[in-house]
Amino acid sequence: MCRERRAWYLPLRSKWGDRAQSRFFVFFQLQALVDMIFSLPYLVAMTNPTPGLGVWGLAGVLVWVVAVVGEALADRQLAAFRADPANRGRTCRVGLWRASRHPNYFFEWLHWWSYVLLAVGSPWWALTLVGPALMPFFLFKVTGIPATEAQALASRGEDYREYQRTTSAFVPWFPRRQGTGNGGQGTATTT
């Protein structure tokens, strides 16, 4: 199990105590239901009766490529930053991480728009909006950003607070000039 998931489940097991098994059962059944809902955009895009890709389909493929490349680049930049022992205990502010505290989450959200575009022409295309509509809710309120930022604040303190003040939480954007900062150095995030 990856480190992030373990960090998510261990506090739940501790909090739920003797009822952890039954609560995890319900928890995982709810996750399965959410997975079914998130599979709708794929299903609609795959069963689109419109022949060929057309302009909308090509736009969908382009958005998909940008999203996959962006997410892979963000993950690679963070991994390279973390691999350097000199960066231990510092916030990654290189590449896409200079423009967004969670560029990998942004590109994950962007990829859901490709299915909307790929489904244009399908009588059920509106169902594909479930992906880009629900993903921000889960990223901002359920998983992802809240847990990541809480852990980063606990382990990196003021350096991460400065990063929060100067860097967009989600959409890559120009960094704000504010505070004393440390010239783009600091602690690596765990997204």
pLDDT tops 80 at residue 186? no
Predicted local distance difference test score (pLDDT) of residue 178: 65
- pTM of this structure: 0.79
Distances (CA, A) of 77 to 1, 70, 188: 23, 10, 11
Query: Who has greater pLDDT, 10 or 95?
Result: 95
Q: Would you state the pLDDT for residue 184?
A: 42
Closest by CA position to 111, among listed 42, 55, 52, 31: 42
pLDDT at residue number 107: 97
pLDDT tens digit sequence for 30-88: 889 988 988 999 889 889 888 888 999 999 999 999 999 999 999 999 999 999 999 88
Q: Indicate the residue type of 128.
A: T
Residue scoring higher pLDDT (120 or 89): 120
Rounded to 5 degrees, what are φ and ψ at 60? -65, -40
Reported as a single tens digit per residue, the pLDDT across 128-175 is 999 999 999 989 988 788 888 888 888 888 889 999 999 999 999 998
